Amino acid sequence: MIKVFWIASSNVVQPKAIRSLVEIEAAKNYSAPTITSAIKEYTTLELGLGESACKLKRKEVANIKYKVREPAETYLIENPNLKLDILDSISYLTE
């Protein structure tokens, strides 16, 4: 985990630290409410950033999660069928 004890007095850096934690958890593909409650609990108990953490909303977490996960879920050659998309991609790369 990220250690951010030294930034606890800076209001500008606190949201960035919380966002970094959300991005790490979003990559694990947990639901947005689960990530929100885990980040709030961790930042409040372990990092002392309770004031900034209480401002974290589920919708913000969902948006961050979409930005983190979306590139992994894009189509290679724009074919919505995954098997055909992979076959088209292989064909394209071999040409």
Contacts of 7-16 spanning 24+ positions with Cβ under 8 A = 8/47, 8/48, 8/49, 11/52, 14/49, 14/52, 15/52, 15/55
User: What tens digit of pLDDT does each residue of 43-55 get?
Assistant: 888 888 888 888 8
Q: With CA atoms as reference, report the closest residue to 22 among 49, 52, 51, 62.
A: 62
pTM summary value: 0.61
User: What tens digit of pLDDT does each residue of 21-41 get?
Assistant: 999 998 887 899 999 999 999
The domain tally of the chain equals 1
User: What tens digit of pLDDT does each residue of 53-81 get?
Assistant: 888 999 999 999 888 876 655 656 566 77
Structural domain that includes position 55: 5-94
Determine the pLDDT at residue 6.
47
